């Protein structure tokens, strides 16, 4: 209820300040849809699906162009968006490195709470995956035993130091008291491929990134880091069920650069709100294990970002920034 109330209040406030300008703003040139991760990963798949739906449903008179900027765990993308302050034709698909990267790299000079929140499309999560060739690993206990046996020879693939999967890997190291070698790859899709090719021993991938390999019987999930079991993975236990206190979610939200015009924000909020409610998006959420229950936007999303920055600062302090960057 509070959510709807804030929404109404902010909508009212806005309508008073600029009565006729609403819904009239439209992009005047192609919109750059920045993805702060590499091709084939979860964020990339989502952004490209959304871009296709915008075109299919004819929601914008100008095209949305997805551009991957995966460098430095999203640092490149955030720096880019920061430089675009006041630009109405650049938006970004974000994930949790939106919070973690600026904390680990204070030199970057980016404050994410200054960005313009547009809409939260989904909450994603992670599972722990191994190659299905590993007959010796059937559950969490045998996994932990295998990792402890291998020591630093155990290779975990991820998308970069400071990315959410490295945070999760550090959380697991702390919980199970082992140390692994963490190898960064340019995107979740490449991580998944390297697990199937036996170049690495385990990953924490999003459901969407491993789904096709899982269906083909190339990889198997051991644990999910959710509160409850996802409908897409009814047989995989949660970490909580196994007595391990790790729960981790990843936000998938669209944000703009600092200082966007309110008319433009209104346009993007309406557009992504419509996409969120579409059958295609909801079907994708179900099949890929995403939670898409409410479309958070405006100041609510801003508050959500703020609380996540606080939570991640605490988390990184707890596991230690050095455990994440591997230095």
Partner 1 sequence: MAAAIASFIGGTVSIILFTMFAPPLAVFALKFGPQEEFALMLLAFATFIGLGGDDIPKTIFSILLGLVLAAVGFDIISGQPRMIFFDMVEFQRGIGFLVLAIGIYGIGEMLWTLESTKGQIKMHNVKITWARMKENFGEIGQYINSTWVGSFIGFFVGTLPAAGATPAALMSYGLSKTFSKDPDSYGKGNISGVAAPEAANNAASTGSMLPMLTLGIPGSPTTAILLGGMIIWGLRPGPLLFQESPDFVWGLIGSMYVANVVTVLLNLALIPVFIRVLAMPFTLLTPIIFVLCVLGVFATTDRMFDTWIMLFIGVVGYLMRKLNYPVAPAVLAIVLGPLAERSMRQSLISSQGDITTFVTRPISLTCVLLALLLVSYPLIQRYTRKRKAAAATE
Q: Which residues bind partner 1 (CB under 8 A)?
A: 39-40, 44-45, 48-49, 51-53, 56, 66, 68, 71-73, 75-76, 79-80, 83, 101, 104-105, 107-109, 152-153, 155, 160-162, 181-187, 189-190, 192-194, 196-200, 211-213, 215-216, 218, 280, 284, 325, 327
Nearer to partner 1, 83 or 141 (CB): 83
Q: What CA–CA distance (Å, rounded) separates 153 from 324? A: 18
CB distance 165 to 204 below 8 Å: yes
Q: In angstroms, what is the minimal distance from the CB of 181 to partner 1?
A: 6
Q: How far is the CB of 207 from partner 1 (least distance, A)?
A: 12
Nearest residue (CB) to partner 1, 72 versus 298: 72
Closest-CA residue to 297 (of 124, 84, 121, 125)? 121
3-class DSSP state for residue 158? strand
Sequence-distant (6+) residues with CB within 8 A of 33 are 47, 50, 51, 64, 65, 66, 67, 91, 92, 93
Provide, rounded to whole angstroms, the least separation between the CB of residue 90 and partner 1: 9
The smaller minimum CB distance to partner 1, of residues 101 and 251, is found at: 101
CB nearer to partner 1: pick between 7 and 321 = 321
Whether residue 139 contacts residue 160, with contact meaning beta carbons closer than 8 Å, is answered with: no
- Which of 112/244 has CB closer to partner 1? 112
State which residue, 134 or 240, has the beta carbon closest to partner 1. Answer: 134
Report in angstroms the alpha-carbon separations of 85 from 1, 29, 266: 33, 17, 17
Q: How far apart are CA 185 and CA 89, in angstroms?
A: 29
DSSP per position, 188-255: HHHHHHHHHTTSSSEEEE-HHHHHHHHHTTSEEEEEE-SSS--TT-TTSPBTTTTT-----EEEEEEE
Contact between 288 and 207 (Cβ < 8 Å): yes
Of 194 and 270, which has the nearer Cβ to partner 1? 194
Least CB distance to partner 1 at residue 310 (A): 22
- In whole angstroms, the minimum distance from the beta carbon of 118 to partner 1 comes to 20
Q: How far is the CB of 9 from partner 1 (least distance, A)?
A: 36
133 and 198 Cβ atoms separated by less than 8 Å? yes
Minimum Å gap between C-beta 183 and partner 1 is 5
């Amino acid at each position: 209820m509070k959510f709807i109330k804030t929404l109404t209040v902010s909508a009212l406030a806005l309508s008073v300040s600029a009565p006729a300008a609403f819904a009239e703003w439209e992009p005047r040139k192609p919109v750059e849809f920045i993805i702060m991760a590499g091709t084939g990963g979860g964020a990339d798949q989502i952004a490209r699906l959304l871009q296709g739906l915008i075109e299919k449903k004819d929601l914008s008179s100008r095209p949305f162009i997805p551009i991957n900027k995966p460098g430095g765990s999203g640092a490149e993308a955030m720096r880019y968006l920061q430089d675009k302050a006041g630009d109405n034709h650049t938006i970004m698909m974000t994930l949790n490195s939106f919070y973690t990267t600026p904390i680990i790299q204070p030199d970057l000079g980016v404050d994410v709470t200054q960005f313009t929140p547009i809409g939260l499309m989904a909450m994603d999560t992670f599972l722990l995956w191994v190659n299905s060739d590993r007959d010796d690993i059937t559950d969490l206990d045998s996994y932990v035993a295998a990792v402890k046996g291998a020591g630093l020879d155990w290779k975990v693939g991820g998308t970069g130091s400071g990315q959410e999967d490295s945070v999760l890997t550090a959380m697991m190291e702390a919980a199970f008291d082992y140390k692994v070698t963490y190898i960064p790859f340019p995107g979740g899709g490449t991580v998944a491929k390297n697990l199937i090719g036996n170049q690495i021993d385990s990953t924490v991938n999003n459901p969407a990134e491993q789904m096709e390999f899982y269906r083909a019987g190339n990889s198997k999930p051991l644990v999910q880091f959710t509160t409850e079991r996802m409908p897409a993975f009814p047989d995989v236990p949660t970490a909580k069920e196994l007595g391990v206190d790790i729960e981790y979610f990843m936000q998938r939200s669209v944000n703009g650069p600092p200082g966007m015009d309110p008319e433009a924000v209104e346009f993007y909020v309406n557009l992504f709100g419509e996409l969120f409610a579409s059958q295609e998006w909801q079907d994708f959420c179900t099949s890929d294990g995403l939670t898409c229950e409410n479309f958070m936007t405006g100041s609510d999303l801003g508050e959500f970002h703020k609380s996540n920055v606080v939570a991640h600062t605490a988390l990184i302090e707890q596991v230690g920034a050095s455990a994440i960057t591997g230095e």
